[in-house]
């Protein structure tokens, strides 16, 4: 799996500005370390979807969210999705933070780009399977986006049995563990979409330093 270096630089705050040779070498080294020491894993399930005025129900999970409801308007099913780089990524980040903080910052950015790239790859595979049934994917939408409460991380992990199958759990503050992990809902629609992989598509945080131009 290739890690997009442009995404890494975006996470590091370069936003189109040229990076020095030292940073580029550090990125290459961190990418190599992550690629050699992590084994990304994922789970997904297609579930029935019920739409309400300001809420949705996915496979028995009732989610009160105007933003999610608007995002998957017109969908009749949804994919519940989870992915993780695994515990080894967290161990690498922890070790690096104790030895070389500047490298740890780069490693953190590389790991973030890696898990996003992995999710995009899996999204392409799901999209191919859906196309056979005449269905198309909406961009994935995760707990914490808009008014989609982060508390629903627990529900998504439970419906996929993530702890048992891929070792993905949740903390008391509803953060995913391992940290380089993603959960999401992906709407399925019979309306052809021009793109099912998007960044910042509905996020209202226009001042976010990681937002794409």
pLDDT-derived band of residue 210, with 50, 70 and 90 as boundaries?
Answer: very low
**Residue 17 confidence (pLDDT):** 79
Strands 41-52 and 169-170, by their bridges, are unpaired
Domains of the chain are: 5-189 (3.40.109.40)
Q: Confirm if 113 and 4 have CB atoms less than 8 A apart.
A: yes
By percentage, how much of the chain surpasses pLDDT 70? Answer: 90
Query: pTM to 2 decimals?
Result: 0.88
Tens digits of residue pLDDT in 105-130:
999 999 999 999 999 999 999 999 99
Contact, 199 vs 119, CB < 8 A? no
CA distance 87 to 155: 21
Task: Please list, in sequence order, all residues whose beta carbon lies within 8 angstroms of the beta carbon of residue 183, skipping any fewer than 6 positions away.
Answer: 80, 81, 82, 142, 143, 153, 156, 157, 176
In tens, the pLDDT along 166-176 reads 999 999 999 99
Helix (H) / strand (E) element for 44: namely strand 41-52
Mean pLDDT of the chain: 90
Asked if 9 and 210 touch (Cβ cutoff 8 Å), the reply is no
Split at pLDDT 50, 70, 90, the class of 195 is low
């Amino acid at each position: 799996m290739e890690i997009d270096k442009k995404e890494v630089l975006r996470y590091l705050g370069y936003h189109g500005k040229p990076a020095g040779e030292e940073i580029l070498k550090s990125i290459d080294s961190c990418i190599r370390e992550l690629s050699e020491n992590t084994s990304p894993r994922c789970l997904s399930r297609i579930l029935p979807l019920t739409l309400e005025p300001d809420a949705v129900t996915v496979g028995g999970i009732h989610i009160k969210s105007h933003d999610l409801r608007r995002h998957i308007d017109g969908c009749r099913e949804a994919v519940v999705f989870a992915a993780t780089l695994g515990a080894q990524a967290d161990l690498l980040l922890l070790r690096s933070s104790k030895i070389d903080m500047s490298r740890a910052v780069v490693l953190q950015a590389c790991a973030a780009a890696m898990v996003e790239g992995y999710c995009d790859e899996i999204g392409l595979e799901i999209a191919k399977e859906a196309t056979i049934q005449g269905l198309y994917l909406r961009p994935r939408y995760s707990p914490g986006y808009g008014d989609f409460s982060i508390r629903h991380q627990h529900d998504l992990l439970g419906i996929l049995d993530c702890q048992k199958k891929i070792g993905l759990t949740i903390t008391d503050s509803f953060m995913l563990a391992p940290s380089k992990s993603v959960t999401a809902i992906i709407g399925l629609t019979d309306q052809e979409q021009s793109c099912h992989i998007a960044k910042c598509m509905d996020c209202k945080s226009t001042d976010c330093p990681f937002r794409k131009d």
